[in-house]
Every structure is written in structure tokens, then in C-alpha cells.
A and B are shown apart, each in its own frame.
Chain A
Amino acid sequence: AQTVTQSQPEMSVQEAETVTLSCTYDTSESNYYLFWYKQPPSRQMILVIRQEAYKQQNATENRFSVNFQKAAKSFSLKISDSQLGDTAMYFCAFMKLTSGTYKYIFGTGTRLKVLA
């Protein structure tokens, strides 16, 4: 069975600094998708970044980038130049297609607090 592990329940970072959130997953599949979602205190979940497993290049979205290590089954999120608005819960998620059905699994989340 697939699992997604986020080993850091809480983290904090000073404004303008860089922080890395870790995520590991377990699967026997070779083709799948990985996501990072952000849930701010307002509760609305939004997509931060997405990575296809078949792509070797790490995805980047402005200040957000990932370090995708397929062999190690690791998918960490790096936030550069942290801003107060980055304070949120961050969820790592795994998705794969099996027999015509998509399977989604979310990690338990990392609560990030950006300090002024």
C-alpha cells in the first residue's frame, strides 16, 4: 500500500529565510504524481506545486521548489525568502492511476509558522 510520511509536525522560520519541508513516500509504482498543498488559517486548500514522477527536472513555482529524489522516494519542498503569508499547514500528496482509478494519499501535514 502507498504511504506518505511527513516527519515534521511543526516548523518555524524567520521571515526572508529559507525552509525545507520533508516528505517521503512508499510505492512500487514507477509512474505517479506528487503534490504540495497549502492550507492557510482560512482553511482553504490551494495547490503549491506539482511534480510528475517521469520528469527528472525538479518543479519550481516562484519561491517554491521541490527536491524530487525518485530512488530515495523523497519529495521535499523548499520555500525561499519566506513571507508571513506562507504561514500554513502544508500537505504532501501522492497520486497514481491504477486500473482506471486514481488513488490519492495525503500526508499528515507540517504546520509552518513564519516569524516576523
Chain B
Amino acid sequence: DAGVIQSPRHEVTEMGQEVTLRCKLISGHNSLFWYRQTMMRGLELLIYFNNNVPIDDSGMPEDRFSAKMPNASFSTLKIQPSEPRDSAVYFCASSLDSSDEQFFGPGTRLTVL
């Protein structure tokens, strides 16, 4: 298995544009996590899913952020409209179950100008 796959690896966009980040889970994993990492705030859990169902989205900063799992192996994190303060590295991670070891993707570095 190639591990957790994220795309794109880098994204540069202008303020106000819609951004979609993508994540492919490791085959057989049931839990999916989205994190945001910044120098100021460290690593923050935004949302996690178990069996395609969002379980805890209390970390999602505001309504501009939304996440979906259209199927068991794929997830998207959308920011609309994007703002410069959204600039960060966004990680996706998957695990067999919510309490198991998480396997992280390589991250997407987002820059909003």
C-alpha cells in the first residue's frame, strides 16, 4: 500500500478563491482525520470521520471549512472562500479504528495570498 495520499502537495491561491484538498486513505482503514499545522498554533485536529461519518468537527475553524467523505477511501477538505490566515500545512491521517495508530499523509502546504 502506498500509504495515505494527499493532493496537491502545494497550493498557492488568492484570497477569496475556493480550495479543495484531497486525501486517499490506506485501504482497510475506517477512520480519517484532518489536521492543520501552523507555527503559531501547532498541530490542530479539524475533524475526524469513522466509517464515513463525521464524528467530531469541533476543530473546524468556521463555516468556510467543510469536509466530506463521499466513499470509504476518499475525503476532501474544502475552504470557501479562502483567506490568508488559512495558510498552513494540512495533514490527512487514517487509522484502522479511531483509537489506533494514525498514519499521516505528506501534507498539503497551502498559501493564500
Q: Residues on A close to B: CB < 8 A?
A: 33, 42-47, 50, 91, 95, 97, 100-109
Q: What 1/0 mask marks residues of chain B from 63 to 104 whose CB sits below 8 Å from any chain A CB?
A: 000000000000000000000000001010100001101111
Are the C-beta atoms of A43 and B107 separated by less than 8 Å? Answer: yes
Tell me whether chain A's interface is mostly helix, strand or loop, or mixed. strand
List, in ascending order, chain B residues with CB within 8 A of A42's CB: 106
Q: Contacts A102-B98, A102-B99, A108-B42: A46 and B104 contacting too (C-beta < 8 A)?
A: yes
Are the C-beta atoms of A47 and B43 separated by less than 8 Å? Answer: no
Closest to B40 in A: A108
Which listed residue, B33, B89, B93, touches A43 by the CB 8 Å rule? Answer: B89
List, in ascending order, chain A residues with CB within 8 A of B105's CB: 44
Inter-chain pairs besides A102-B56, A106-B42, A106-B44, 17 sampled, C-beta below 8 Å: A43-B107, A44-B105, A44-B106, A45-B102, A46-B104, A47-B101, A47-B102, A91-B42, A97-B99, A102-B48, A102-B55, A104-B33, A104-B45, A104-B48, A107-B42, A109-B42, A109-B43
Instruction: A28 to B104: give the CA distance in the assembly, Å.
Output: 29
Tell me whether chain B's interface is mostly helix, strand or loop, or mixed. strand
Are the C-beta atoms of A45 and B48 separated by less than 8 Å? Answer: no
Smallest CB separation, B4 vs chain A (Å): 9
Smallest CB separation, B99 vs chain A (Å): 6
Closest to B91 in A: A45
Identify which of residues 43-62 in chain B touch chain A, using a CB-to-CB cut-off of 8 Å: 43-45, 48, 55-56
Identify which of residues 27-43 in chain B touch chain A, using a CB-to-CB cut-off of 8 Å: 33, 42-43
Are the C-beta atoms of B89 and A103 separated by less than 8 Å? Answer: no
List, in ascending order, chain A residues with CB within 8 A of B56's CB: 101-103
List, in ascending order, chain A residues with CB within 8 A of B55's CB: 100-102
**23 pairs across A/B with beta carbons < 8 Å?**
A33-B99, A43-B106, A44-B105, A44-B106, A44-B107, A45-B91, A45-B102, A46-B103, A46-B104, A47-B102, A91-B43, A95-B99, A97-B99, A101-B55, A101-B56, A103-B56, A104-B45, A106-B42, A106-B43, A106-B44, A107-B42, A108-B42, A109-B43
